[in-house]
Chain A
Amino acid sequence: MREIRIEINGSNYTSRISDNLTLLDFIREEAGMSGTKRGCDSGHCGSCTVLLEGRPVYACITLAIQAEGKKVTTVEGLEGDAAGQLHYIQQAFIDHYGIQCGFCTPGMLMVAAALLEEKPLPETEDIKAAISGNLCRCTGYTNIVHSIRMAAEDKLKQEGGDE
């Protein structure tokens, strides 16, 4: 057992853990955040995707100690501009029917957030590449791709309008 500290969504979480604990276990069991989902639990489905130092990773195949002292962002860390407001990508998923059962959605949101941070107006091929490590059994992906595209366009319009 060893004590480690991970910064999750801007807050520090310190726990005594064994080395065989994954980052997914740490987030769900130690930090008590259940937004990050356990799907395949072997690095295939993407439902456990979180951002580690800004880059998407599969939390289920990342050891918690590999994230020691680093910054992690989970779906709970996505926030809108005002308190209680959804993040603009979350809102776009609702507005454009990017969700059916919703189990893959936290992972999809996290890869979308990483993509739009790097490329504010991505091409459709960029979006498809970004979500290529995430499986969705309901939507057929079309509305997910569309939602991300619309999130990007709406955000740029909004920022342009604010100037």
Chain B
Amino acid sequence: MIQHEFTCHSPTDLNQAYAWAERMKDSIYLAGGTDLVPLMKYGVKKPENLIRLDHLPELKIIEKRKGGLYVGAMLTLWEIQRHPLIKAEFPSLRLACQKVASPQIQSQGTLGGNLLQDRRCIYYNQSEEWRSSISLCYKTGGTMCHQAPASDYCKALYYSDVAPVLWSLGARAVVFDGDEKWMPVEELIQEHVERNGLVKREKRILKGFWIPQPPERALMKFEKLSLRGSLVFPVMNIAFQLSPSLEGIQGSLVVGGTAPAPILLEKTVKRMELSKAFTPEERKKTGELALEELLEKSQLVRESGISLKVKRNTLKHVSTVVEQLMETEVWS
């Protein structure tokens, strides 16, 4: 049983759900609940009202739309990895869904919920009793970060496995706030992680994602490094979709699990674009640049079960991924 009492509401259409969220002062949307319910058990979150999204069929649509694929935010990670269109066209998204936690979490956790998951920190993901001995941090209504007391924002890490993939695929998020709005998924991620470092709550409903058809000869990959195969969050995850074009290299390379938000390795891709030939020496230098860029942009903090030294060493794998990427025939 969850210690505090709350009321669950089950709206049957989007307008009703959004209106209730606007009207009820202390409310949170409930998707699969695999992230939220443990936080409620810990007493980290104590909403008075939960607004369920699982009775809204329009959030569970998956279909070809406008030269791409539309994927509803309330589809479970299990449903997505089994869908023939995902299998055929977006193997990196399929693999990311397969790599999230355990089969039990994949059965219930949703695509939208994974993207909008809470950022985690060893000072935050603790029981109420444990946290009662320390002062409030940015995420709990205070004015400091326990990980970095001099920081003017929350440094908790963002571990979503699907976020780097959707970003690399050039996805657009479809949100509802009385009207439907489309936005680049990276914009939604950025807004989410900023809000999630404070006690602000999201009232907009994430309806789904539109993923454009991959360009011809696109190279797509997702890789997750973790201490054990499952249950733990990624030490690092890497996603890319890159393809040669007349204008240069299209697409992006994104790394997650190392900062409060996924990191776009734009300098690395730019160097690839400017390279005349992917010689062994050039591949090595670009791999080194990828690590340099990642270390420069990542904001490592203390995590449970892994030292900063091990984490830094793990990040070196990004060089291997980039070198292997440059070895593929698609560039010749």
Closest chain B residue to A114 by CB distance?
B103
Which of B5-13, B113-121, B256-264, B289-297 has 4 or more CB atoms under 8 Å from chain A?
B5-13
Whether, in the assembled complex, B246 has its beta carbon less than 8 Å from a beta carbon of chain A, the answer is no
Judging by beta carbons under 8 Å apart, are A42 and B6 in contact? no
| Interface residue ranges of B26-52 to A (CB < 8 Å) | 30, 33-34, 37-38, 41-42, 50, 52
The answer to whether residues A18 and B231 also contact, given A43-B34, A62-B37, A114-B103 and a CB cut-off of 8 A, is: no
On chain A, the residues within 8 Å of B2 by CB distance are 20, 22
Are B104 and A57 in contact (CB-based, < 8 A)? yes
Give Cα A76–Cα B316 distance, bound, in whole angstroms. 49
Q: Which of A22, A49, A114 contacts B1 (CB 8 A)?
A: A22
Inter-chain contact count A-B, CB under 8 Å?
83
Chain A, interface size: which category?
A: 20 to 34
Check if B325 is an interface residue, CB within 8 A of chain A.
Answer: no
The residues of B that contact A130 with a CB separation of less than 8 Å are 103
Question: Which residues of chain B are near A114, meaning CB under 8 Å?
Answer: 103
**B78 adjacent to chain A (CB < 8 Å):** yes
| A19 near B102: Cβ-Cβ < 8 Å | no
Which of B6, B108, B229 is in CB contact (< 8 Å) with A128? B229
Q: What is the distance, in angstroms, from B152's C-beta to the closest C-beta of chain A? A: 31
B200 interface contact, C-beta 8 A: no
- Bound state CA distance, A128 and B78, in angstroms? 17
Given A41-B41, A46-B104, A111-B103 in contact, is the A55-B78 Cβ separation under 8 Å? yes
Return chain A residues, CB-CB under 8 Å to B108. Answer: 52, 55, 57-58, 62
Residues of B with Cβ closer than 8 Å to A? 1-8, 30, 33-34, 37-38, 41-42, 50, 52, 54, 78, 101-105, 107-108, 229-231
Using a CB–CB distance below 8 Å, which chain A residues touch chain B? 18-22, 25, 41-44, 46, 49, 52, 55-58, 61-63, 65-66, 111, 114, 128-130, 132-134
10 tightest CB-CB pairs across the interface, nearest first? A133-B102, A132-B230, A55-B107, A20-B2, A61-B37, A19-B8, A133-B104, A58-B104, A42-B38, A56-B104
Q: List 28 A-B contacts (CB under 8 A).
A: A19-B7, A20-B1, A20-B2, A20-B3, A20-B4, A22-B37, A43-B38, A43-B105, A46-B102, A49-B104, A52-B107, A55-B103, A55-B107, A56-B104, A57-B104, A57-B107, A58-B105, A62-B37, A63-B37, A65-B8, A66-B33, A66-B52, A66-B54, A128-B229, A129-B230, A133-B102, A133-B103, A134-B102
